[in-house]
Amino acid sequence: MKRLVRNGTVITGTMRASAMAVEDGTVVALGDDALDRASGWDEVIDLQGGVAIPGFRDGHAHPLSGGMDAVMLSLGGLRSIEEIQSAVRGWAGEHPEQTWIEARGYDPSLLPQGVGDASVLDAAVLDRPVALHSSDHHMMWVNSAALRAAGITAATPEPELGTIVRHGDGSPVGTLLEWDAVALVGRHLPVLDLETRLAGLRAGMAALASHGIVWVQDASVDADTLSVYLAALAPGCSRVV
């Protein structure tokens, strides 16, 4: 594949050029040297006076986790508690086969002091556990069924790295803060099938690429996450991006 980028400014990091020739993914010429190369381009990209810059790198990202927002119930963009309740209730009604209702991306600032009460989610879904991940993924809001499934009570000791938000009598309110507290419920969530997680990875990588990010380092990789990346690289699997 031969591409010519022209009619603008190409920033390389060490110089600026008016054009760039790329063959099979490798930059082979810049400026007049690029324009002077033989014709037969497969693609000519006209910058129309604009600027082409190298792709960005992100050393702390979560492509898989972030991408799952696109394939699960997403609460991003909802602007009230009532909207969250309606979304959760509707999803539960559409997916009676799901033993847990899991959603992502709620905005804690919509809740009093950022704390969600289990009873509020009980009003949406009472017959199954509900677990909502916050938009920053450092909090979880759950209903009473989820607290029961995880065995979280007033007698549950405080985790080392996290907080169980409690009522005055020590009983859990329904909000878990930080990793160890979130894990009390997280370990009970059903494991999503590989195809669903691959779809999430593809969505996450596509979102990064759409913003010019061409290299990332996943900042939180465990054995399960690694298995998804390895599956994405396996022969016969469609490319991530």
> Could you give the residue range(s) of every CATH 2.30.40.10 domain in the chain?
2-54
As a whole number of angstroms, the distance between CA 30 and CA 59 comes to 29
Read off the tokens for 177. Answer: 């803060």
Give the SS3 label for residue 123: coil
Q: Strand (E) positions, the chain?
A: 2-6, 9-11, 16-17, 20-23, 26-30, 43-46, 51-52, 56-61, 73-74, 101-106, 130-134, 139-142, 163-166, 172-177, 213-218
Q: End-to-end distance of the chain based on CA atoms, in angstroms?
A: 18
Strand partners, 61: 218
Q: How far is CA 144 from the centre of its chain?
A: 26
As a whole number of angstroms, the distance between CA 223 and CA 3 comes to 40
Fold of the 73-186 domain: Diaminopimelate Epimerase; Chain A, domain 1 (3.10.310)
Task: Report the candidate in 62, 59, 57, 58 with the shortest Cα–Cα distance to residue 225.
Answer: 62
Mean of per-residue pLDDT scores for the chain:
93
Expressed in percent and rounded to 5, the helix, strand and coil fractions of the chain are: 35, 25, 40
As a whole number of angstroms, the distance between CA 114 and CA 175 comes to 9
CATH 1.10.10.10, applies to 2-54: no
CA distances from 152 to 146, 163, 170, 215 (A): 9, 12, 11, 40
As a whole number of angstroms, the distance between CA 186 and CA 21 comes to 50
- Global pTM value: 0.81
Please count the residues of the chain: 241
Tens-digit pLDDT profile for the chain (241 aa)? Answer: 999 999 999 999 899 999 999 999 899 999 998 888 877 899 999 999 999 999 899 999 999 988 998 899 999 999 999 999 999 999 999 999 999 999 999 999 999 999 999 999 999 999 999 999 999 999 999 999 999 999 999 999 999 999 999 999 999 999 999 999 999 999 999 999 999 999 999 999 999 999 999 899 999 899 989 999 999 988 766 555 5
Handedness of CA 37, 43, 49, 55 (dihedral sign): negative
Q: DSSP secondary structure string, 184-237?
A: HHHTTSPPPPHHHHHHHHHHHHHHHHHTTEEEEEES---HHHHHHHHHHHSTTS
As a whole number of angstroms, the distance between CA 126 and CA 85 comes to 12
> Could you give the residue range(s) of every CATH 3.10.310.70 domain in the chain?
73-186
Kindly report, residue by residue over 48-62, the tens digit of the pLDDT: 999 999 989 999 999
Kindly report, residue by residue over 56-80, the tens digit of the pLDDT: 999 999 999 889 988 999 999 999 9
